[in-house]
Amino acid sequence: MRSLKGNKVLLVDGDEQGTAGDWTDHRIGLGIETPWTTIRLKSSAVRTEVIKLANNYDDIIIDCGGRDTASLRAALTVADVFLVPFQPKSFDIWTVSKVTELLEEVKLINPKLKSFCFINCGGTRGSDNDDAMNILSKAESLRLLPVVIANRKAFSNATAEGMGIVETKGDAKAVSELKALHDAIFGTQVTSLKHNKDLKSLSKNRQNDRMMI
């Protein structure tokens, strides 16, 4: 979606599973136009290389998976935004305290980091989503986005075809959900920063400006 808007985008695969990089390779193999650059980095290289490349891109998106790894910690030291998806399941929600503890440590190094969470793989019926959002809304250091990405087959189908959901002609609800997430992330980022009197100097001085996890 960022590329479709004309932005120059770098996708960093910092996850040991390598899903983001594999998806890009799959897409290119199918001959689908891929207007962003994808690289694979691990551990401290996530920080050092991203700092070197930051001024060459409008957006840098780093995928570090869902575990506390050296790659994740390195990414958090240079990121502007940390985005955490939670499934509305007990075991997933129980990790909230661990995430907030990690953020407290990272903010000593990167105090300008803004952290958000949302419901991913949510149910299409029942109260599980609302129950999970109620818990997340009380989490320290994490701001809950009013977005639920439902567990829809359309997402896996799009991935198998090497496409993002917004490129497909399938599930309109799935497309709408992802657009809502996009707008919540980037709209929140603009809103939270536009009141900063030092924004212009911040953009000039910080090599990691406009980075995102």
Q: How much is the average pLDDT of 78-100?
A: 87
**Please, are residues 57 and 8 in contact by the beta-carbon 8 Å criterion?**
yes
Q: How much is the average pLDDT of 85-112?
A: 87
**Please, are residues 44 and 173 in contact by the beta-carbon 8 Å criterion?**
no
With a pLDDT cut of 70, the percent of the chain lying above it is 87
CA distance 27 to 8: 18
- When pLDDT is cut at 50, 70 and 90, the band that residue 119 belongs to is very high
SS3 116: strand
Residue 192 has pLDDT above 50, yes or no: no
Q: How much is the average pLDDT of 39-47?
A: 96
The domains of the chain are located at: 9-212
Residue with structure tokens 């661990």?
98
Residue 208 has pLDDT above 80, yes or no: no
The model carries a pTM of: 0.82
Residue type, 97: S
Residue 190 has pLDDT above 50, yes or no: no
More confident residue, 199 or 26: 26
Burial (CB count within 10 angstroms: exposed 0-12, middle 13-18, buried 19+), residue 204:
exposed
Summarised one tens digit per residue, pLDDT across range 131-161 is 999 889 988 889 999 999 999 999 999 999 9
What is the fold, at CATH topology level, of the domain defined by 9-212? Rossmann fold (3.40.50)
- When pLDDT is cut at 50, 70 and 90, the band that residue 29 belongs to is very high
The H-or-E segment that residue 22 falls in is: helix 19-29
Residue 24 has pLDDT above 50, yes or no: yes
- Quick one: how far is CA 9 from the chain centroid? 13
Residue 197 has pLDDT above 50, yes or no: no
- When pLDDT is cut at 50, 70 and 90, the band that residue 72 belongs to is very high
pLDDT at 188: 55
The H-or-E segment that residue 30 falls in is: none
DSSP output for 59-101:
EEEEE-TTS--HHHHHHHTT-SEEEEEE-SSHHHHTTHHHHHH
